[in-house]
Amino acid sequence: MGDALKKMAPRLRKMPPAVTVPQSRERILAIKNAKDSGQMFFATGGQHLNSDEFFQARKHSKRLDEDKSFQDQKKK
């Protein structure tokens, strides 16, 4: 009876996952902007996520926040 379900399953992906080059700026920004594990999987193209890229992405967002607060203080 599994043949009945086989017809309903999708056969092709509509869009292939994004493949970024490891240790590139685009990949780090994509990891930074990922809100869940599916988006992170899409950003890496199914490759392994190493800790360097993850920490660089988190540090990048922290630096942007610090820069924004510094600019606000500078305006005051």
Reading the block at residue 38, the tokens are 């599916």
Which residues contact residue 56 at a Cβ distance below 8 angstroms, ignoring those fewer than 6 apart?
28
The ranges assigned to domains in the chain are: 17-75
pTM recorded for the entire structure:
0.65
pLDDT at 45 over 90: no
Amino acid at 22: P
Q: Span 29-53, mean pLDDT?
A: 87
pLDDT at 23 over 90: no
71 versus 39: the higher-pLDDT residue is: 71
**If phi over 0 gives left and psi between -120 and 50 gives alpha, with beta otherwise, what is residue 13?**
beta
pLDDT at 19 over 90: no
Reading the block at residue 70, the tokens are 């510094």
Q: What sections of the chain are H helices per DSSP?
A: 2-6, 25-33, 37-44, 51-75
pLDDT for residue 47 = 83
pLDDT for residue 64 = 93
